[in-house]
Chains A and B, each alone.
Chain A
Amino acid sequence: MTGNKDQGVTPLKVITIGFILSGILIGIILVSLSLGPARISLIDVLTWATGYRSVDQTAWMILFKIRLPRILLAGLVGFTLSIGGVVFQALLRNPLADPFILGVSSGAAVGAIIGIVFGLGFSLGVPLLSFMGALFTILLVMGISSRHGGLESSTLLLTGVIVNAFFTAVIMFFIATTSDSRLHSMLFWLYGDLSQTRYVQLSISLPLILIVSCIIYVFSRHLNLIVGGEESAIQMGVEVELLKWVSFLGISLITGIVISFSGIIGFVGLIVPHLMRMVLGPDHRLLIPASALGGASFLIAADTVARIILSPSELPVGVITAFLGAPFFIYLLKARGSQWTQS
């Protein structure tokens, strides 16, 4: 799309792209609903919905109690992680950033693993502990990196790396000393496990995610400016420090919530923003909604593959995103690496 290049992003463009991507998203949701070990076609759903045929209880239950909540959570996770990736890449001015780079993921993982060790329930207990882990990590990293009330990007990155390394060691400790079935739960969580999603989990996460996303979107043109340098941005009136605080905190919070329920699903926050930027340009007013919708579609598709590829057994969805994401990233580096090392 070269339209941006001499017209800028217009509301019309955003709405149009938004429509197209939403259409794709809905399409993927419908297709994913019909895929699985139990064969349920959309035609069946229609005939049941309209009362033309009496509802097959089992199939109905499978669709709406198993598949749909899972698909919706996958969409929500993809949505959140992609926005997080876009924002972090802009604020940290680093194309390798994703919302996990500051340590939120490993903090959440430690929380979840502790929850698993203590035998807490998977619908609310483990996620709660996981979120506490995420929160603790966010405050720790931001606290260490704040200087005179400002957040230094390079300090943030470094602190994130160290925190990640430390918590990864903690995770390894737990894994090494667990030998019963809890080990499986831990490992699956670490690679993303969307099975047995409950609607209550969605209703807990959705409001905050929507609020934060809207706030972030309001700042999209500010993010554009920051890409050109923090100082220039300040000069033109962007409140860079405030933006950093709000964004890092907000994104980390919603990332923490979402991975508390889904486990750590990598590559989405890294790849989707780059993909969308390649196709639609770097203007965040378009990039943010596009990445959000694209990320949702991507993760739903990946989760569906994870569900059916070894059916009726399952793979963790993080494996699929890694298989898809890593080669793509290598391609990106080869094709466009020079841009990122430009001075």
Chain B
Amino acid sequence: MDSELILKGVYFSYDSQWCLEGIDFELKKGETVGMIGPNGSGKSTLLKIMDGILKIQKGEILLRNKPISSYRRGDIARQIAMVPQEATFRFPFSVFEVVLMGRFPHLGLFPFEGKEDLEIAHQSMRLTGTLDLARRSIHELSGGEKQRVLIARALTQRAQIILLDEPTSFLDIRHKVEIFELISSLTQAQGLSVIIVSHDISLAAQYCHRMLLLNRGSVYKTGEPDEVITADNISTVYQCPVLVDKNPISNTPRITVLSKKGEGKKEMV
């Protein structure tokens, strides 16, 4: 498998302290990677670095084997799409208009979309099950619906790499699963390479090929879900006692967070 994105020895800081230190990472084509780690460990920052929005101070980032700094912003946008945690639209654009905005990096000087662009937008909405929402105002949607729309927008960008920043944080369990299912089917169908930042460790483990565990700005562990999600790793990094066993249905790691009561009992197990 080729690498879509390679990070070598990446260091980044906003001001005087390093926010990210010595990051080495590779995203292979067709992979779905789950990025986990406690709050403040640098996950969002790392995503922005990968997208080329923030400039690193040390190290190298290669997008399809070319340094990311050699790309123009528009070029990057055609290859990497970001689905944010949430998006506030100050004015009432319709769902269709929002999805269509994904075509921005592809429009040339002529500021209007062509038939092809409209088609692509329709297709994205079909794939994300948002076609019937097309005429509704973005303000009217529920959290889950909105996330699907944002994913549709990312799809219209026709990028091969999609970065999702905690797409399920504000969703209920049903919608969480829906989103993961959607991403999984899309990536399989189109061979997309995806990085999902999530706090839903158990859920992510079911859908990701690899996991990346961040701790305080550096990579604590990468590898298959089984390797990364262990009681040791998780409780050390998150500083919170957990129990890790196997999900009997999917055979992937499952985390149970222990309350104070359970901690004592754990010793007994």
Contact = CB atoms under 8 A, between A and B. Distances in A.
Do A and B come into direct contact in the complex, CB within 8 Å?
A: yes
A282 B118 contact: no
A339 B88 CA distance: 11
Contacts of A8: 96-97, 100, 112-113, 118
Contact of B76 (A93, A237, A339, A340): A237
A5 B51 contact: no
A7 B134 CA distance: 10
Contacts of A237: 73-74, 76-77, 104-105
B83 to A, nearest CB: 9
A11 B92 contact: no
A259 B87 CA distance: 36
A73 B100 CA distance: 38
A234 interface: yes
A97 to B, nearest CB: 10
Given A5-B134, A9-B112, A227 B93 contact: yes
B91 A277 contact: yes
A224 interface: yes
B84 A231 contact: yes
A228 interface: yes
B107 interface: yes
Nearest to A340: B90
Nearest to A338: B139
Contact of A235 (B77, B91, B100): B77
Contacts of B87: 228-229, 232
B14 to A, nearest CB: 11
B97 A234 contact: no
Contacts of B90: 89-90, 93-95, 227, 340
B70 to A, nearest CB: 16
A228 B92 contact: no
B98 A228 contact: yes
Given A236-B77, A339-B92, A4 B53 contact: no
B88 A224 contact: no
Contacts of A238: 104
Nearest to A222: B104
Contacts of B51: 235
Category for how many chain A residues contact B: 35 or more
B159 to A, nearest CB: 10
Nearest to B72: A237
B149 to A, nearest CB: 11
A227 B89 CA distance: 6
Given A234-B53, A340-B90, A220 B111 contact: yes
A2 interface: yes
A181 interface: no
A6 B94 contact: yes
Given A6-B135, A235-B77, A283 B93 contact: yes
A58 interface: no
A229 B150 CA distance: 12
A4 B89 contact: no
B101 A225 contact: yes
Contacts of A340: 90
B82 interface: yes
Nearest to A2: B135
Contacts of B92: 282, 339
Nearest to B94: A5
A5 B94 CA distance: 5
Contacts of A6: 94, 96, 134-135
Nearest to A95: B90
B157 interface: yes
The 8 closest A-B pairs by CB, nearest first: A282-B91, A237-B77, A5-B94, A5-B135, A237-B74, A93-B90, A237-B105, A235-B82
27 contacts: A4-B97, A5-B96, A5-B134, A6-B96, A6-B134, A7-B118, A10-B112, A90-B90, A93-B88, A218-B111, A221-B111, A224-B93, A224-B101, A227-B91, A227-B93, A228-B93, A229-B87, A234-B73, A236-B77, A236-B101, A237-B73, A237-B76, A237-B77, A282-B97, A339-B92, A342-B88, A342-B89
Interface of B: 51, 53, 73-74, 76-77, 81-82, 84, 86-94, 96-98, 100-102, 104-105, 107, 111-113, 118, 134-135, 139, 157
